[in-house]
């Protein structure tokens, strides 16, 4: 079945493949929520957080479907300064708003800590957008982080997101389809929420600073260059991918 042309994009090899794994990821995550949340005992808060994540997913999907525009955060900011509203700026605004809602639900610390948590969630969302330039990279980073959170008994245990990510990992690694901004944003926002909810309050601002620094790396040096010169990262990045 041929999908609409807007759902296809060129990957790093120049091959046009469907950009639909984010949609599949969101659908599996919703199914996981329906199965797991009733047993968790705090359905209202869990669905509110998931609803915020879906808004970020939707903003990414709008960016995926829009005609090609500025690339990178700097490109979108330059467009905004020239008076043009871009889908990238829309993503930033939606992500920031969704992060504010989630942090209010998490109820962590005073206003300074909450600002750090919002910064952490928004920055993590964009970090995963920067990771999604090679097959499996964003998903593998997400799965590793979520497994660490589970082993650390971080509340809430992100078992559902891990399962959804694992289910779409193979198609991404084999280059049958790609996540797109919709999927990458959903992963990054979820990762940011888990970190903001699990880290001790004293660690939230340092984690936010690391996330912001990673965004600077993605916009300047690029993650690919860093990964290529660090042997363990290079090995993990190539793990499971096509030659």
pLDDT exceeds cutoff 90 at 72: no
Predicted pLDDT of residue 31: 86
CA distances from 183 to 11, 97, 172, 198 (A): 15, 18, 11, 23
If you search the block for the tokens 């620094």, which residue do you land on? 213
The residue that leads in pLDDT, 235 or 3, is 235
Nearest CA among 29, 236, 16, 35 for reference residue 140: 236
Whether residue 230 is predicted with pLDDT greater than 80 in this model: the reply is yes
Hey, what are 167's tokens? 């289910």
Q: What percentage of residues in the chain have a pLDDT greater than 90?
A: 56
The residue extents of the domains of the chain are 16-238
| Paired tokens of 15 | 């091959």
How confident is the model over 120-148, as pLDDT tens digits? 999 999 999 999 999 999 999 999 998 88
Q: Is the dihedral of CA 46, 172, 64, 133 positive or negative?
A: positive
For residue range 155-204, what is the model confidence (pLDDT) as tens digits? Answer: 555 566 778 899 999 999 999 999 999 999 999 999 999 999 889 999 99
Query: Bigger pLDDT: 71 or 172?
Result: 172
Q: Give Cα 196 to chain centroid, integer Å.
A: 14
pLDDT of residue 106: 86
Alpha helices, DSSP H, located in the chain: 21-40, 43-65, 72-81, 87-106, 111-131, 137-151, 159-173, 180-198, 201-219, 223-229, 231-238
| Whole-number percent of the chain with pLDDT over 70 | 85
Q: 185 CB contacts (<8 Å, ≥6 apart)?
A: 22, 56, 57, 59, 60, 91, 95, 125, 128, 129
pLDDT at 169: 94
Residues whose CB falls within 8 Å of the CB of residue 80, separated by 6 or more in sequence, listed in order: 86, 89
Lowest model confidence (mean pLDDT) among 2-11, 14-23, 45-54, 88-97: 2-11
């Amino acid at each position: 079945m041929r999908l609409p042309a807007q759902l296809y994009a060129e990957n790093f090899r120049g091959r046009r493949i469907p950009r639909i794994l984010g949609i599949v990821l969101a659908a599996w995550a919703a199914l996981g929520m329906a199965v797991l949340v009733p047993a968790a005992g705090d359905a209202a808060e869990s669905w509110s957080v998931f609803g915020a994540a879906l808004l970020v997913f939707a903003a990414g999907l709008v960016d995926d479907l829009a005609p090609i525009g500025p690339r990178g955060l700097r490109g979108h900011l330059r467009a905004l300064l020239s008076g043009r509203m871009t889908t990238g700026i829309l993503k930033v605004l939606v992500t920031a708003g969704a992060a504010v809602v989630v942090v209010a639900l998490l109820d962590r610390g005073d206003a300074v800590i909450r600002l750090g948590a919002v910064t952490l969630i928004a920055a993590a969302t964009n970090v995963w957008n920067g990771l999604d330039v090679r097959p499996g990279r964003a998903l593998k980073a997400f799965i590793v982080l979520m497994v660490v959170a589970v082993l650390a008994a971080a509340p809430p245990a992100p078992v559902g997101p891990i399962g959804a990510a694992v289910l779409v990992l193979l198609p991404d690694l084999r280059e049958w389809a790609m996540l797109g901004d919709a999927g990458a944003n959903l992963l990054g926002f979820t990762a940011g929420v888990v970190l903001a909810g699990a880290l001790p309050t004293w660690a939230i601002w340092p984690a936010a600073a690391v996330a912001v620094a990673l965004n600077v790396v993605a916009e300047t040096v690029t993650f690919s260059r860093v990964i290529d010169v660090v042997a363990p990262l290079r090995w993990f990045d190539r793990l499971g991918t096509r030659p």
